[in-house]
Amino acid sequence: MSSPLQPQLVKDIDAALARIQASDPSAAGPHWGAMHKLLLKAKIDPQAIMRLVGARDTAELTRAVARAKGEEVAESSDGTSSDTGASNAEGTTANAAPSQEFELSVLQDALRMFRKRVKLSQLDADSKLGVGPMSGTGQHRIQAMLPPRDYPWGVWEALVKAGKLRRDADGFYSIVEQPGGAHW
């Protein structure tokens, strides 16, 4: 970075980082939003910020904050650096939490939230003009959607590994229909 950060901005970034690290991952959404705004003020690459915030990767966020403050930082464990753009969105998503294990209740809550969002999105799509028996057009079913950002990407990847969700293109996920309607 060519110019040093303002002292107040450094304090705000450090405070936001501490709030993210201290909060429960499922309730950290507002803290990540605040961090996103602070990193934009710090003139960090917007694409790198989106990868960090989207993946909810606190370890990489800590390294990015240290780099923004001008500190020497070791490379991440996978050999990539967030400000070089060496990792793509899928690579970050897949590596966001490979070793994290989530409690069954967190996975159940995330899956319940995903199903509810799909249902509400479908109801919203069905209420639009041009859909229905009187318009002559068939109903279009929502096949996949972006997962809610209330949970880190590692939770959605754990649900893929558990066979509850299927990863589609560009970060979209779809529900895997269970035989006999079996749910958790």
**What is the structure's pLDDT at 24?**
83
Confidence of residue 139 (pLDDT cuts 50, 70, 90): low
Average pLDDT of span 125-139: 69
pLDDT band for position 25 (cuts 50, 70, 90)? confident
- 12 — pLDDT class (breaks 50, 70, 90): confident
From CA 12, how far away is CA 3, in angstroms rounded?
17
Predicted TM-score of the model (pTM) = 0.48
Mean pLDDT of the chain: 77
Per-residue pLDDT at 44 exceeds 70: yes
CA gap 28, 51 in Å, rounded? 16
Identify the pLDDT of residue 165.
Answer: 93
Instruction: Tell me: pLDDT of 184 over 80.
Output: no
| % residues pLDDT > 70 (the chain) | 75
For residue range 78-103, list pLDDT tens digits in order. 444 434 333 333 334 344 434 468 88
Q: What is the CA radius of gyration of the chain?
A: 19
Average pLDDT score over residue span 118-137: 77
Query: The tokens of 9 are what?
Result: 């901005």
Q: Predicted confidence band at 182 (pLDDT cuts at 50, 70, 90)? A: low
- What is the 3-state secondary structure of 35-96? HHHHHHHCCCCHHHHHHHHHHCCHHHHHHHHHHHCCCCCCCCCCCCCCCCCCCCHHHHHHHC
